[in-house]
Structure 1
Amino acid sequence: MLDNQGFNLWAQEYDNSVRRSDENSRYPFAGYQDIMDEIFRRVLSAPGRDILDIGFGTGVLTARLYEQGCRIFGQDFSSKMIELAQQKMPEAILVQGDFSKGLAAPLRQNRYDAILATYSLHHLTDAQKVSFLGELLSCLREGGSLYIGDVAFATRRELEACRAEAGDSWDEDEIYFVFDELKSSFPTMQFEPFSYCSGLLSLRK
């Protein structure tokens, strides 16, 4: 897994790398833009404009929401990613912090209409995911929604098929979402596939 320094070094090239993978329908970012567009649409179609983004990177999604008048809060552990995102969203509240240790204290004080996590939570173990999602849900306002766009699969069998197809490009350090293993902890969670290796998981409070 890339550490803070690794993401700082990758920051300038990150968007281009993601776009190439998505355009060529390659693991891990096949379906990326479609997921981003769908989350964007759902956030703007709901009432409320206080948005928290976990692992926002360079602000690809949140900058679009910011331009639509949303109040953006976010947490990322890369100082360089934060610098690039802050240039796009000068009034956003962006906090540096390792979300494997939970939500940063300044962000826990607020309540949000939507919480987003796109291609970030695969750095958590399955147990950490369950704990952190529970923490995020407690920060939602009633009627708010949590959206997770990531490398995700309906079943373990689908994950293993993707691993076999990806071969040497498979990232063994990342822990991807398997919906039918996660839904026991979150029975109301919904899953929608967007490609053979990506999907949108959502929870409503």
Structure 2
Amino acid sequence: MLDNKGFDLWADGYDAAVGLSEEENSYPFAGYKEVLGGIFKEVMTKENAKVLDIGFGTGTLTTKLYENGCEVYGQDFSQRMIELAKEKMPDASLYQGDFSKGLVPELSNCKFDYIIGTYSLHHLTDEQKVSFFTGLLSQLNEDGKLLIGDVAFKTRVELENCKSEAGDEWDEDEIYFVIDEIKKSFPQTQFEQKSYCSGIITIKNSEARQI
């Protein structure tokens, strides 16, 4: 797993690295544009939506939301990523903090229409995901949604097949999403597959009351 310093060093070349993998339709970013586009389209269904982006990086998606009238909040643990994103979104409320330890105090009591995470939440263990998502769901407004775009698979078998095909390119430090397993904690989870190794996970705020 990249630490704070690692992400700072990677920040300036992040968008280019993602683009290369996406264009080659290769793990881990195959379907990247479709994932971000799908989340953008969903958020745009609500005018002037209040959005929290967890691990927003250089702000690739969040900037588009910001430019289209969304009230943008974000947390990322790389100061360099925040600096790059702030150049694009000067009026956004962006905070530095390790989300594996939860949200920073400035965000922990806020309510949002959408909470999104794209290619960031795989840094959490499966146990951390359940705890963190439960907390996030409680911070959604009525009809709010948690939208996760990431490397994800319907079944553990599909994940293992992708891992085998990726070989040495597979990142052992990242804990990817398996929908069948997520549904054990969040039964109404919806999954829209965008490539052989990616998709959009949707969990509604009503799930918070079911756990």
**TM-score interval for Structure 1 and Structure 2 normalised by the shorter chain:** over 0.9
Aligned residues: 205
SS for the counterpart of 1:167 is helix
Deviation at 1:103, TM superposition (A): 1.3
- Deviation >4 Å, runs of 4+: none
Deviation at 1:47, TM superposition (A): 4.5
Corresponding residue number in structure 1 for 2:181:
181
How high is the sequence identity, in percent, across the aligned residues? 60
Corresponding residue number in structure 1 for 2:84:
84
Corresponding residue number in structure 1 for 2:16:
16
| Superposition map of 1:164-203 within 5 A | 164-203=164-203
Q: Residue 89 of structure 2 aligns to which amino acid in structure 1?
A: M
Q: Do 1:146 and 1:204's aligned partners in 2 also have CA atoms closer than 8 Å?
A: yes
Corresponding residue number in structure 2 for 1:116:
116
| Superposition map of 1:141-152 within 5 A | 141-152=141-152
**Aligned equivalents of 2:165 and 2:203: distance in 1?**
30
Provide structure 2 residue ranges, at least 5 long, that are not aligned to the other structure: 206-211
Q: Residue 130 of structure 1 aligns to which amino acid in structure 2?
A: V
| Superposition map of 1:25-174 within 5 A | 25-174=25-174
Provide structure 1 residue ranges, at least 5 long, that are not aligned to the other structure: none
Q: Deviations over 1:14-66 (max 9, x none)?
A: 00000010010010000011010110011011355110000000000000000
**Aligned equivalents of 1:174 and 1:129: distance in 2?**
12
**Aligned equivalents of 1:5 and 1:33: distance in 2?**
27
Q: Residue 64 of structure 1 aligns to which amino acid in structure 2?
A: K
**Aligned equivalents of 1:195 and 1:97: distance in 2?**
31
Deviation at 1:204, TM superposition (A): 1.6
Deviation at 1:95, TM superposition (A): 0.5
Corresponding residue number in structure 1 for 2:209:
none
**Aligned equivalents of 1:20 and 1:170: distance in 2?**
16
**Aligned equivalents of 1:71 and 1:45: distance in 2?**
14
**Aligned equivalents of 2:57 and 2:63: distance in 1?**
11
RMSD: 0.7
Deviation at 1:105, TM superposition (A): 1.2
Q: Residue 79 of structure 1 aligns to which amino acid in structure 2?
A: Q
Q: Do 1:115 and 1:145's aligned partners in 2 also have CA atoms closer than 8 Å?
A: yes
TM-score (norm 2): 0.96
SS for the counterpart of 1:61 is helix
**Aligned equivalents of 1:192 and 1:161: distance in 2?**
19
**Aligned equivalents of 1:48 and 1:92: distance in 2?**
13
Q: Do 1:48 and 1:113's aligned partners in 2 also have CA atoms closer than 8 Å?
A: no
SS for the counterpart of 1:37 is helix
Q: Do 2:47 and 2:70's aligned partners in 1 also have CA atoms closer than 8 Å?
A: no
**Aligned equivalents of 2:170 and 2:119: distance in 1?**
15
**Aligned equivalents of 1:11 and 1:69: distance in 2?**
26
